[in-house]
Amino acid sequence: MRKDVFTKRSLLIGTILSFIIGAGNVYNLMVIKGSFMALDFTTPSAIFLIFWVTLINYFLKKFVPKVSLSISEMILIYIMMIVSCSIPTMGLVFYLIPLIAGTKYYATPQNNWNQLFLNHLKNWTILKDTNAIKWFFEGIPKGQSIPWGPWIKVLLSWFPLIISLYLAMVFIMVILRKQWVEKEKLNYPLTKAPLSLIKADENKIFHNNLFWLGIAIPFVIGCINGIHFYNKLFPSVALTRYFSIFRRTLSLPFRVSFPMIGFTYFVNLPLSFSLWFFCLLSTIQQGFFNITGFGISEFLPYNENRPLLGWQSLGSLFVIVVYGLWISRGQLKEVLRKATGKEKDDSSDYEIVSYRSSFWGLIISLLIIFWWLVLSGLPVFPSIFFIVFMFIIFIGITRVIAEGGLAATRAPVIAPVITNSFFGSKNLGPSALGALGLTFVYSSDVRTFVMASVANGLKMLEEVKAKKKIIFLAILISILTTLISSIWMTLYLGYKYGAINAERWFFVVGPQFGWKYIIQEIKKPGGPDMLYLGFFGIGAAFTIFLQFMRMRFLWFPFHPLGFAFSTIMMTNNLWFSIFIAWLVKFMILRYGGAKVYEKGKLFFIGLIVGQFLVNGLWLIIDFFTGETGNVLFWA
């Protein structure tokens, strides 16, 4: 390993690849419309690219060892890439840009948006220039240039909020890293594949037949389906079957997801068992509600099918996060003592940012977020409440990713809905509800975000013994580079082709989705929703029971995280893949033992790498052929 553990060239390579991830994923979803490469916490773009970086580096070490990359350099590059993956599409930009422009674009005399909430929004929060808006969605007329000015003005008003949000996420993970990584020793299943690739020399991964067999299965199936897309006479392989249950009020999917099988192999058995078991249990519970007519009829965004159970899961998630912070109190006290000068702060020797900087940086970031929310029209106490629950959700989701490998998930109930349900829409009023509508950009469909990527990155830094300060700089560079490249590419392609012709969810449905809920609440104002809060209490109480049983009895097979995420749409879609991985691991450990389990690891890593590898290669093929809509796998 080099003496200069983290080099300028690794920072440069990471920056270039972050730019490619930002611009490339935007181009994919706006033009190619192929397989998703930066939609979930799986970070397919990063794994696809690190595979090729590792393979090239493998040959460099054999033939030109002086120019090869060290393990530390590749970890830095990978951290920059996974941070980058959390920004360009679902993470931020594909909700920010369409909402900024789409709020006014989709306002019509028929839907009465202007009177209902548009007039209550602050002018600096959305785009108002008529031509800039129309040309973005419909394409720019010949002879006209892209109106960058109005965009720069409104984006600069969002910049303090976005950067503060991302910095707060980084600082929270720095504060909790020691607790999660060193004291609780969480698994971090999403780090297994990249670390195995990066350490190819040690584990001889490129010489392992099981690894290549794992790659071959999704790769061959992906190629079969890719060829079928081009020639319908060629057969295809279906990986999903749906069965109608409970008098056709629900459908139970049986979906094979190779990455999810791969990730779950590294999850402890009680948690993987709980994920699929509680998912089926919640399906039965919802089915009972459906056939008995018990439930609600109002629209609940991002949990339309199981709204009451979503609140039940939220209560569970709340208890898990609060309990997690309670058992971290020793670590939090240490951070506080070092931040306030009561104890020598030597944390910069082993953290990417010192505890003093993290603590005060977090305080300042939260104050800026609070200030932005109040300026946008949300009152003081709802703003504080919103921030608290937003970060409870972020921490809870990051926890299930770090411990349970649930790489495709989101919140059971989103922070703006929680805030409105607690205070009541009649008490908030149109101005505050409009401000809550703006928060859908970064707190609603949170299927990927910076905090989770940073958590996985900090775990990978266990492989590096030197000081890690440069990693914080690398993360900041990755964030800024990806923001610039993805926003620039989104605007450029929108004006060139017309954004309404791009991915429909993000540019047609998405800009109207949050406002649909806000309009519902403005038209039918009400007080705090006691039914929702009641199910919140049920979920919280049951989770306390589960946690008590786990602490009291070692044999207890249920994990609270499985219950907390049982009602999420993605869990419902992936339960069967989780079940397959749980069953295989259970059988291997029961009849083959630890040695067979260890040997099998590279096969399951191959399943992960193989799907993302074939996704990326077919995107390149589609780019050159000009074909669009060739999505090989859902997740």
Per-domain boundaries in the chain:
8-625
pLDDT-derived band at 303, boundaries 50, 70, 90: confident
Task: Give the pLDDT confidence of 106-122 residue by residue, as tens digits.
Answer: 999 999 999 999 999 99
Residue 2: is its pLDDT beyond 60? no
pLDDT in tens, 178-234: 999 999 999 999 999 999 999 998 889 999 999 999 999 999 999 999 999 999 999
Instruction: Report the percentage of the chain scoring pLDDT > 90.
Output: 95
How far is it, in rounded angstroms, from Cα 162 to Cα 555?
Answer: 45
Over 90: is that where the pLDDT of 560 sits? yes
Please answer whether residues 100 and 126 qualify as being in contact, where contact means their C-beta atoms are separated by less than 8 angstroms: yes
Per-residue pLDDT for 295 more than 90?
no
CA atoms within 13 A on the CB side of 51: 23
Is 103 within 8 Å of 111 (Cβ atoms)?
no
Mean pLDDT, the chain, rounded, equals 96
Nearest to 54 by CA among 230, 46, 248: 46
pLDDT in tens, 424-462: 999 999 999 999 999 999 999 989 999 999 999 999 999
Q: What percent of the chain has pLDDT over 70?
A: 99
Is the pTM higher than 0.85? The answer reads yes
Residue 633 pLDDT greater than 60, yes or no: yes
- Per the CB < 8 A criterion, the answer to whether 607 and 262 are in contact is yes
The answer, yes or no, to whether residue 4 has pLDDT greater than 60, is no
Using alpha carbons, select from 99, 101, 84 the residue that is nearest to residue 23.
84
Q: Is the pLDDT of residue 170 over 90?
A: yes
Residue 3: band (very low, low, confident or very high) from pLDDT cuts 50, 70, 90: very low
CA separation for the pair 448, 141 (Å, rounded): 35
Determine the Cα–Cα distance for residues 51 and 199; give it in Å rounded to an integer: 11
Does residue 635 carry a pLDDT above 90?
no
SS3 250: strand
CB-based contacts of 521: which residues, under 8 Å, 6+ apart? 420, 425, 433
Short-list 514, 523, 276, CA closest to 414: 514
Quickly count: other Cβ atoms within 10 Å of residue 153's Cβ.
Answer: 13
**Residue 17 contacts residue 484 (beta carbons within 8 Å):** no
User: Which residue intervals of 405-525 are DSSP H helices?
Assistant: 415-423, 425-438, 440-443, 450-460, 469-497, 504, 510-523
